[in-house]
Structure 1
Amino acid sequence: MSSPVLGARDLTGCEHRLALDFAPGRDTMPVEPVTDPDVAQRIRAATEHRGRVRDLLRSLHSDQPPGTFVIVDDAAPRRDRVEATDRACRDGARWIADAVLRTDVDAGRRGHSELLVHDGTGYVPVIVVNHRVSQPVTVDPDDRNRSGIVTSPLWGWLPATDQSRAARNNRRDQMRLLHLYRMLQAAGLAGREQGGVIGLDVDCIVVVDLEPMLPGYDDNLARRRRIAAQQIATVPSRVGECRGCPWWGQCEPELVDRRDVSLVVNGAQVKVLSDNGIHTIDQLADADQAPAEYVGSFDDAVTFAQCWITDTPLVRRHDDVAVRRADVEVDVDMESFGEDGAYLWGTLLTDNTIGQVEPYRPFVTWQPLPTVDEARSFAEFWQWLMTARNSARSQGKTFAAYCYSEQAENRWLRGSADRFAGYPGIPSRAKVDAFIASDEWVDIFAAVGRNFLSPKGKGLKRVAPIAGFRWRDDDAGGAASMDWYRHAVGIGETVDLTQRRRLLEYNEDDVRATKVLREWMDGAAASTIPTVDDVRRRYHDAAKLPGRV
């Protein structure tokens, strides 16, 4: 085959996917395109984010002479985009947006950069990503050892030490910058050995020192090119990216057929087990001693393997199942749209002292996010929740509010208090933090983790069906709800009121699923879900059957 030419995406992630992508005789992607809604939503969100950043930067440079900030037409054919980028470089443009570099066939590189920025000596690549690349830190003026990171303002390439931030390094971002730098270098266009990343917050350019990473990049490119050329053999192993990989339909049957251990433990653990001779689920199920380098609970890993063999979806860690209960219980579920805000807080109040379940109550704004109307809906939710809590207390009743996986709810509780401070009814950050830290705010996801092992994951839609709950919408899910929201508020299209109803039903079902799961945990779970010891006995009994290995 011809010498493979790799893009930055080919430099990280699954090596077996790379080998399959470049397999001889393949002209198209396998089977069918990726349809996973989470993957599709991430792609769309990243595209929209890049567009917003480009428009922002163009406005920042709108008062500068023509040719300072050049935008390459990203809808044009690739050849035209390459020529436009070359022309902008020759003309000395200071900023080039949506640049496409000329393919370096000999070195096996192709790539594009959201920005090329002239640093006075040449061009540095600046990429735009849809995740956070830095985070604020508290600066101690007496800490003389703190060096900070290097950042540059959005309006110019002026790298300087910034002690108010800490970097959040991402290997994929680094590899892409290194790849682009080498391409610029080969074309005689490179500036200093630096690159930049504009992240989700769009508050600065995080400057990356590429020089110490270049040897590692060169080695990685050489290995990856050999894999693409089929000179290094690879085999499938389940990793995080399998979920959205078009090759999963081919790899999964092979993994199941050989009962690969990666089906029940994660990638880092797979390597440790493999290095110690444990390659199959059966070998793991029979193991009685953890390898010295194993990180995590080896007992849990063995149980996962035995669950896979005995087809057991959920296991009790202990004889008893413990979950926090209260006289008055409120189930809460929040819906957000990317990073733009939280548009819906759904609630369900149950008074167990009188056996009363109130109707589902949503607090919602249908104005497209971001909008200050979000402050109104959040304030109404908070005031209602605190009124329910105070009413229960005044009657001598215990109170608890529940969510499933509190990270998202906590983020938007705090974020809403911060963003809308001073608006009518908005609580202080201190009040929000105090509520989150109290025993009246309960994460059922954490309770599931304390009480059970779930071989196929602990997501609400994995666990609640075991408790007997079913969602009304078969397509219900976080990523699908993003599409529904676009239709519901008319982002780029006409408003579809049926999608508002769909979102409310989806949110209500999540709220009710949390309630059903909690009550099941406090009741039937202890008698219907096997313990770890039960699964172990099932496994050993099954192993004794004729024909079982």
Structure 2
Amino acid sequence: MDDGVQLDAGVVTRCRRRVHLENDPAARDLPKAPMDAGVEQRIADAAEHRRAVAGQLAALLGEQWVAVSREGTRRERERATAEAMRAGTRFISGAQLPADPDGGRLGAIDLLVRSGVGYVPVLVVRHKTADPGNGARTAPLSDPTPAAARPDPDRKVRSQPRDQLRLVHVRRLLEACGMAADDPVGGVIGVEADVVVWHDLRAPNWPGGRTALTEYDARFADRLDVATAAAAGAEPLAQPSRITECKGCPWWPTCETELRERRDVSLVVRGEEATAMRDAGVGTVDELAALPAERLPEVQLSPGRGADAVLLAKAWLRELPLVRRVRRLAVPRADVEVDVDMESYADSGAYMWGCWLSGTDIGEAPGYRAFVTWDPLPSDDEARSFAEFWTWFTELRAKAHARGLTFRAYCYNELAENRWMLSSAERFAGKPGIPEVARVREFIGSDEWVDLFAAVRDQFLCPHGKGLKVIAPSAGFHWRDDEAGGENSMRWYRDAVGLDGYAPVLSQRRRLLEYNEDDVRATWTIRRWMTSTAAEQVPYAEDL
């Protein structure tokens, strides 16, 4: 198989059709979407994080640490890695494993650690690898070995299946070249870059009691079959079907064209639901829209989803952005209302809390205000901005209650706001103005905290998605910035605080404030619209 297909670790978490297209010679000239600017930035951030951690390890490990040069061809780097392993080098950074042509694998790893007579892999990633708790096995960066790992009283492992599968890929490459340690373990250094979290790749912690080893082997064998068939020009083993991954896939223009030409059912229901539809003989949106109620039990979907799918198909055929599930829409309202939107930068922190105050006058100017830090995250100044937000917010709530007025706050998809409110209270506990975690939990569990996303989800069918940017135009709201979006805001933030080593760009700070203001004005517009007669013009499901 010297000239055969050779795949990297990414294929096991990649769409099967994408694997086909990446290995099909006939697909080389097909149109591809440009890489999203936000994705491109995350890749650059991850590369910078790996370089920083490599420097940290070099300083800690001294002469025991050797780096494989990033210069030269892949084969040259493979030879350099093989020589370092044969020499018994204790820590090898930036390793390019010898390719495994018989197994169809190639790959690199951030760090190889000598363990016994072989090596174990260590990944460096720019996401969290652990959560507060206990039970994770960790080792210090000064001794990043399995032998130094101990149960950590302050950390529990955060589920990151992709990390484990990447570790198994390298394990298989080490086995192929006779350099694998006896124990199938792998480590991960996360965004905090303070410890190595070690994983036992034999642990039965996957669905059905599977291990990371068995899960990887099954997935890789499947992707290798798909890629081999594509490379040979044989009958494709993977056909296009819309899934979540499609949104950022470079091959989406090609797949979308095919799916629309055949009016594929996955344009309305994605993933496993689309597979269930096809298994029941329903392959197009038209067939789904015409599916009689008595045939719904044939489609193995969760209760209620079959009827929803039929309505979504009917709405898609009529190009309707929304369909009402209920005759009369409802959103909890109050005398004093605040729309809240938080802006964060990856896992580094929340740098802005934006609010739109409306309703009964209680001595506070209505409209927009933001509580923000422009110190590059992570920074203790984040505690100051969160404390100012929480103090203003809770004082407003107390004033309303004191005057016998009702109070409610609104967000769009509470998961993000809840995460950072709780995280801020935990991380900055004891600092001025920081609330106790229990007080935050009391608020987010109360009926005064309203998730507008849930109201939309429960009362509308949304053929094109339920995101704020999708729903708000139906309520008549439009963002001032044509590039407004979460991914672009990451790039604006880097400029605004000078993360790339340049002077902060003040115009990008203004842009972020305007973007955040528009987000809270969007939720304000949606809930006002939902409680007006205008929303009754949206077609009702039973009338389709």
TM-score (norm. length: structure 2): 0.89
Do the aligned residues in 1 keep the contact of 2:362 with 2:400 (CA within 8 Å)?
no
Do the aligned residues in 1 keep the contact of 2:408 with 2:450 (CA within 8 Å)?
yes
Cα offset, 1:92, TM superposition: 1.8
SS of 2:105's equivalent? coil
Do the aligned residues in 2 keep the contact of 1:365 with 1:374 (CA within 8 Å)?
yes
| 1:176 alignment counterpart | 166
CA distance in structure 2 between the aligned counterparts of 1:220 and 1:251, rounded to whole angstroms: 22
Q: Residue 208 in 1 paired to residue 200 in 2?
A: yes
CA distance in structure 2 between the aligned counterparts of 1:362 and 1:318, rounded to whole angstroms: 35
CA distance in structure 1 between the aligned counterparts of 2:347 and 2:519, rounded to whole angstroms: 21
CA distance in structure 2 between the aligned counterparts of 1:111 and 1:496, rounded to whole angstroms: 39
Question: Which 5+ residue runs of structure 1 have no aligned equivalent?
Answer: 139-147, 537-549
| 2:507 alignment counterpart | 498
Cα offset, 1:479, TM superposition: 1.0
The alignment's C-alpha RMSD in Å is 2.5
Map Cα deviations across residues 458-505 of structure 1 (whole Å, 9 max, x no partner): 111010110000100010011101110111111122211110110010
Do the aligned residues in 2 keep the contact of 1:238 with 1:263 (CA within 8 Å)?
yes
SS of 2:480's equivalent? coil
| 1:19 alignment counterpart | 20
Cα offset, 1:221, TM superposition: 3.5
Cα offset, 1:84, TM superposition: 3.0
Count of residue pairs brought into register by the alignment: 521
SS of 1:530's equivalent? coil
Q: Which range moved further: 86-95 or 287-296? A: 287-296
The residue type equivalent to 1:420 in the other structure is F
> Pairwise mapping of residues 68-467 of structure 1 onto structure 2 (< 5 A)?
68-74=64-70, 76-137=72-133, 150-154=137-141, 155-157=143-145, 158=147, 159=149, 167-192=157-182, 193-202=184-193, 203-210=195-202, 214=213, 217-230=216-229, 231=234, 233=236, 234-287=238-291, 288=293, 289-291=296-298, 293-295=300-302, 297-352=305-360, 358-467=366-475
Cα offset, 1:457, TM superposition: 1.1
Cα offset, 1:77, TM superposition: 4.2
CA distance in structure 2 between the aligned counterparts of 1:266 and 1:463, rounded to whole angstroms: 19
The residue type equivalent to 2:537 in the other structure is T
Q: Which range moved further: 89-98 or 353-362? A: 353-362
SS of 2:99's equivalent? coil
Cα offset, 1:137, TM superposition: 4.3
Cα 1:319–1:258 shift into 2, 3 Å: same
| 1:143 alignment counterpart | none
SS of 2:46's equivalent? helix
Map Cα deviations across residues 392-415 of structure 1 (whole Å, 9 max, x no partner): 222221111111111111111111
Cα offset, 1:32, TM superposition: 4.1
Cα 1:156–1:352 shift into 2, 3 Å: same
Cα offset, 1:242, TM superposition: 1.2
Identity %: 49
CA distance in structure 1 between the aligned counterparts of 2:367 and 2:144, rounded to whole angstroms: 55
Cα 1:387–1:223 shift into 2, 3 Å: closer
Cα offset, 1:514, TM superposition: 0.8
| 2:42 alignment counterpart | 42
SS of 2:187's equivalent? strand
Cα offset, 1:325, TM superposition: 0.6
CA distance in structure 2 between the aligned counterparts of 1:165 and 1:415, rounded to whole angstroms: 15
CA distance in structure 1 between the aligned counterparts of 2:353 and 2:77, rounded to whole angstroms: 45
Do the aligned residues in 1 keep the contact of 2:136 with 2:197 (CA within 8 Å)?
no
Cα 1:476–1:72 shift into 2, 3 Å: same
Cα 1:170–1:386 shift into 2, 3 Å: closer
CA distance in structure 2 between the aligned counterparts of 1:355 and 1:164, rounded to whole angstroms: 45
Cα 1:33–1:96 shift into 2, 3 Å: farther
SS of 2:409's equivalent? strand
CA distance in structure 2 between the aligned counterparts of 1:216 and 1:328, rounded to whole angstroms: 52
CA distance in structure 2 between the aligned counterparts of 1:217 and 1:418, rounded to whole angstroms: 36
Cα offset, 1:79, TM superposition: 3.8
CA distance in structure 1 between the aligned counterparts of 2:363 and 2:308, rounded to whole angstroms: 38
| 1:8 alignment counterpart | 9
Map Cα deviations across residues 326-374 of structure 1 (whole Å, 9 max, x no partner): 1111111111111111111111111246999723111111111111111
TM-score (norm. length: structure 1): 0.88
Cα offset, 1:382, TM superposition: 1.1
Cα 1:132–1:273 shift into 2, 3 Å: farther
CA distance in structure 1 between the aligned counterparts of 2:537 and 2:250, rounded to whole angstroms: 38
Cα offset, 1:323, TM superposition: 0.4
Cα 1:356–1:390 shift into 2, 3 Å: closer
